[in-house]
Amino acid sequence: IESLSSYARQFMERMKKPDLDYIEGLSPAISIDQRRASKNPRSTVGTVTEIYDYLRLLFARIGIPHCPQCGRRVSKQTIEQMVDQILNLSPGTKIQVLSPIIRFKKGEHKQILEDIQKKGFVRVRVDGNTFEVEEDIKIDRYKNHNIEVVVDRLLVKPEIKTRLAGSIETALNLSEGIVVIDREGGKEKMFSEHFSCPSCGINLPEIAPRIFSFNNPYGACPACSGLGFKMEFDPELIVPDKNKSILQGALVPWGEVKGK
Please, what CATH class does the domain formed by 79-192 belong to? alpha beta
Query: What are the boundaries of each domain within the chain?
Result: 41-63+207-229, 79-192, 230-260
Q: Is the pLDDT of residue 83 over 90?
A: yes
Q: Give the global pTM.
A: 0.56
Ranked by mean pLDDT, which of 24-38, 134-148, 159-173, 176-190 comes out on top? 159-173
Task: Please report which confidence band the pLDDT of residue 260 belongs to, taking 50, 70 and 90 as the band edges.
Answer: low
Q: Is the pLDDT of residue 259 over 70?
A: no
pLDDT given for residue 162 in this prediction: 94
Span of 27-36, 56-65, 206-215, 219-228 with lowest mean pLDDT: 27-36
Span of 53-57, 150-154, 198-202, 238-242 with lowest mean pLDDT: 198-202
Q: Is the pLDDT of residue 172 over 60?
A: yes
Tell me the average pLDDT across 203-208. Answer: 81
Q: Is the pLDDT of residue 258 over 80?
A: no
Tell me the average pLDDT across 139-161. Answer: 91
pLDDT given for residue 165 in this prediction: 95
Span of 104-118, 123-137, 161-175, 222-236 with lowest mean pLDDT: 222-236
| Amino acid making up residue 142 | Y
Q: Which residues contact 53 (CB under 8 A, 6 or more apart)?
A: 209
pLDDT given for residue 166 in this prediction: 95
Task: Please report which confidence band the pLDDT of residue 37 belongs to, taking 50, 70 and 90 as the band edges.
Answer: low
Q: Is the pLDDT of residue 47 over 90?
A: no
- What share of the chain in percent tops pLDDT 90? 27
Tell me the average pLDDT across 227-234. Answer: 83
pLDDT given for residue 182 in this prediction: 93
Task: Please report which confidence band the pLDDT of residue 255 belongs to, taking 50, 70 and 90 as the band edges.
Answer: low
Instruction: State the average pLDDT for the chain.
Output: 85
Q: Is the pLDDT of residue 13 over 90?
A: no
Q: Is the pLDDT of residue 28 over 80?
A: no
Residue pair 117/134 in contact by the 8 Å Cβ criterion: yes
Tell me the average pLDDT across 140-147. Answer: 89
pLDDT given for residue 45 in this prediction: 84
